[in-house]
Amino acid sequence: MWPDRNRYQVSGVAIALFTISVAGGAALTVALGNRAPLYVAALVGLYLLFSIKVADQWEKVTVLRLGRYIGLRGPGIFHVIPIVDRLSRYVDQRVRVASVTAESTLTRDTVPVNVDAIVFWLVWNAEKSILEVEDFVQAITMSAQTALRESIGRHELAQMITERESLGRELQRILDEKTNPWGITVQSVEIRDVRIPQALEDAMSRQAQAERERQARIILGQAETEISDKFSQAALTYQDNPVALHLRAMNMLYEAIKERGSMVIVPSSAVETMGLGGTLATASLGGAKPG
C-alpha cells in the first residue's frame, strides 16, 4: 500500500490541546481543592485529542458521517465528531512515481523482452479517487503493467528500442483514458530500459559487425572502381599528349630523388623516352673531378 497518512493518526495540535486542557484542570483542582475540574478537563482534552485533525498543504481527506459522505477536508486544521465521523486515508495530491515492469513479454516479432517503465501520475480529484475506486494506487500499478504488456505485443523489437518516446506517449494516452474517471491523470510514461536475452544480444552484435564489414568492403570496392576510372581517363590524356606524359614522368622522378641519400633506379627506356640521357651524362661529367 502506498504510504498515505493513516486515518487514525493524532495530530500534534490535538496533543497540545489535550495537554493544555489536562494541565488547566489540574491547576484548578489544586486551587479549588476539588477533583471535578480535573475530570471535566480530561474529558474535554480527550474530545479535542480525537476531534482536531490537521492535513498538510498537499493533502485531502473525506469525512463520512454515519457512513455517508459529507465532504472533503484539508489542507489545514479541521474538526470532526469522534465516533460519529470517520475519515478516509489522507490523499497525497502531489505528482507520484510508479515503477512498472513487464518480464519475458513477446514483441510483435516474437522476441522475449524485459521492459522497465516509470509512470508519473497525480490525483486531481480526491473525492472521485476515494469514492470511485477501492485502492487507486494498486489500480494504477496493475493498469500500467497490463497496458505495457499489450503495447509490447503490438510493437517490434526495433521499434521499442528506437521509438521509446512514442511508446511512452501511447501508454500515457491509454492509461489517462482509463484513470481519468477516477479523478487521476497520468502525466507521462517513460520507458527506462529494454532488455533482451543474452544469446539474442550476442547474435545481434555479430549481425551488426558483419553488416559493418560488408559496408566497408562495398565502400572499398567503389573506391577502387573510381580510382581505375581516373587512371583510364589519365591514360587517354597521356596517349594523345606525349609531352604531358614526359612532364609527369619528370615530376615523379624529381619527387623521388629530391631527398638526400635516396637512390632511384630508372629504366633506360624511360630515360631515352624522356630525352634525359644526354642531360644526365653531362651532369655526371661535370660533377667528376680531374685525375
Q: Each residue of 270-288: pLDDT tens digit?
A: 556 555 554 444 444 444 4
The pLDDT of residue 286? 43
Q: Do residues 212 and 224 share a domain?
A: yes
Report field, pTM of the whole predicted structure over 0.85: no
Range of the structural domain that residue 68 is part of: 12-91
Give the chain's domain count.
Answer: 4
Within 13 Å of residue 34, how many CA atoms lie on the same side as its CB? 6
Please compute the mean of the pLDDT values over residues 190-217 and round it to a whole number: 80
131 domain-assigned:
yes
Check which CATH number belongs to the domain holding 149 and give it: 3.30.479.30
Q: Apex CA 263: angle with CA 258 and CA 267, to 5°?
A: 105
219 domain-assigned:
yes
290 domain-assigned:
no
289 domain-assigned:
no
C-alpha cell at 4: 498515505
Give residues with Cβ within 8 angstroms of 53, minimum separation 6. 11, 14, 61, 73, 77, 78, 79, 80, 87
Asked if the model's pLDDT at residue 124 lies above 60, the reply is: yes
C-alpha cell at 78: 479541521
Asked if the model's pLDDT at residue 80 lies above 90, the reply is: yes
Please compute the mean of the pLDDT values over residues 116-129 and round it to a whole number: 92
Averaged pLDDT of the chain = 82
pLDDT band at 68; cut points 50, 70, 90: very high
Evaluate whether 122 touches 185 at the Cβ level (below 8 Å): yes
291 domain-assigned:
no
pLDDT band at 20; cut points 50, 70, 90: very high
The 10s digit of each residue's pLDDT in 215-266 is 888 888 888 888 888 878 877 777 777 777 667 777 776 676 666 555 666 6
Q: What is the DSSP letter of 273?
A: H
% of the chain beyond a pLDDT of 90: 30
Q: Do residues 101 and 190 share a domain?
A: yes
Q: Do residues 206 and 178 share a domain?
A: no
Please compute the mean of the pLDDT values over residues 109-127 and round it to a whole number: 90
